[in-house]
Structure 1
Amino acid sequence: MVDSPAPALPRHQPVRSRATSTLDALLKSAALIVHSVGAERLTSELVGIGSGYSIGTVYRYFLNRLHILDALSQQNMDRFVKDCLPSITPRRHSTWLDAFTSVLDYFELEFATRPGFRSIRFGDHLDSRIGARNQTNIARAASIFASTLGDNYPAIVGTAVLERIEVALLIHDSLLARAFAHSDLGDTRLIADSRQVAISYLTALDPTWLAPGSTAPKEPLASS
């Protein structure tokens, strides 16, 4: 029985700044290719051409295209943890609901501006996940975010809210994928509806989950 390859890590671990620069260039090239032609048409050869490196260099870091896609999804996940979650504090957001909407803002910006993100996201929908994992990346993101919320808003956020965050993020992710399917600008109606549905999902069952001063959106969904 053949063991599964190790998950998510580059084939050749960068140990020097030059190696790190090479890896960054390869992933940047891959993201631009995915943005241009889609994840299905990504090849190791195209990554080499786009980055200016030889195909041998590409294979030094990544066994095949599936490992490249997996690395891109992990990069998106790492960026979310590094760039978005540190801003989840009461100083920046007075209520947990404000903090949650800032995460919705983050996803919308990534879909609109980050090359390849709308195709890759956290990689759970791709047939490129390497090795066995106990949970999806979106579940990991939701768990980390929920933990951050609980640490910063312990008197406000209840267990019921934390358990529903994963579904709320899945709703937003799925509808944003549809909203940006055919346009870099996105379908503004779908984007607005996505925000409202995700927020309403968290707040509809028990209004006491809302912090003082927070209100769930009251505008009706736009008609089709």
Structure 2
Amino acid sequence: MLVTEVSNALPGGSSLLRNEPVQARSSARLAGLLDAAAAVIDDIGFERLTTAMVAERAGASIGTVYRYFPDRIAVVEALAIRCTQRLGARFVEALDASGADTWQSGCDALIDLTAEMYRTEPGFRAIRFGDAGDTGSGDGEDRMAALGGAVGQVMRERFGLPDTEAISRAWTVLAESGHAVLARALADREHPDLDLVEAFRAMSHSYMGSVLAAA
């Protein structure tokens, strides 16, 4: 994933960035700042993240951070977008690898992938940050709706599901609820709550099945 994709995907174009990375070195610097933010979030959580911590972890000056980001919220939102992009890119790969041939097995592949990324992807918990209650912006809500729409499109193309407003809404519901449940289930990466993961899997099958039956 190119770091410039992050700036292109930011709400309102690249308004969260003070300067877009137009050269390879600038892109690498921005990637390093996001990697540093991810590491700090994994260590202490996003609530305590500061731009000074990002600079220190990245081995950069605070001026370098402010060259790209106006505040800590913009750092977190950019990291969340990067995580969302990586999840979307790996979803199709996960479907191919799993040999999924039904929408239920497609759901399972997405759940397993998301759980694995919560366990292994630095800063992946940032994917849920940016909700209105977390940062004061509505960008997180738009991001989850976009993620649900992307998943719905893949599922329609793969498994021939109908294209209805109710089904599209259902994918958004599952994206929102899934990240809330899986973040809790994987809060302890070394000892994940697998029963909670399986409960969400069963709920997903039942809920989507009922929506499809009514379509």
TM-score range, shorter chain: 0.7 to 0.9
Deviation of 1:183 (Å): 4.7
CA distance in 1, matches of 2:89, 2:171: 19
Secondary structure in structure 2 of the residue aligned to 1:13: coil
Cα RMSD of the aligned pairs, angstroms, is 3.0
Deviation of 1:106 (Å): 1.4
Deviations 1:181-210 (A, max 9, x none): 34543212212212111222111466698x
- TM-score (norm. length: structure 1): 0.78
Tell me, yes or no, if structure 1 residue 24 matches structure 2 residue 17. no
Tell me: CA distance 1:175–1:95, structure 2 relative to 1, closer, same or farther (3 Å): same
Match of 1:74 in 2: 81
CA distance in 2, matches of 1:161, 1:57: 44
Tell me, yes or no, if structure 1 residue 83 matches structure 2 residue 116. no
Residue of structure 2 aligned with 1:191, choices 187, 194, 197: 197
After superposition, where does 1:1-224 map in structure 2 within 5 Å? 9-85=16-92, 88=95, 92-118=99-125, 120-125=126-131, 127-128=134-135, 136-154=142-160, 156-157=161-162, 159=164, 160-204=166-210
The count of corresponding residues between Structure 1 and Structure 2 is: 203
Deviations 1:43-82 (A, max 9, x none): 1111111011111111111111011011111111211222
Q: Which residue identity is paired with 2:79?
A: L
Ranges in structure 2 where 5+ consecutive residues have no aligned partner = 1-11
Higher relative contact order (CA 8 A, sep 6+): 1
Deviation of 1:98 (Å): 1.6
Deviation of 1:26 (Å): 0.4
Kindly indicate whether the alpha-carbon contact (under 8 Å) linking 1:76 and 1:121 is maintained by their aligned counterparts in 2: yes
Deviation of 1:93 (Å): 2.2
Kindly indicate whether the alpha-carbon contact (under 8 Å) linking 1:149 and 1:157 is maintained by their aligned counterparts in 2: no
Ranges in structure 1 where 5+ consecutive residues have no aligned partner = 210-224
Secondary structure in structure 1 of the residue aligned to 2:134: coil
Pair member with larger Rg: 1
CA distance in 2, matches of 1:8, 1:116: 22
Tell me: CA distance 1:32–1:162, structure 2 relative to 1, closer, same or farther (3 Å): same
Q: Which residue identity is paired with 1:33?
A: V
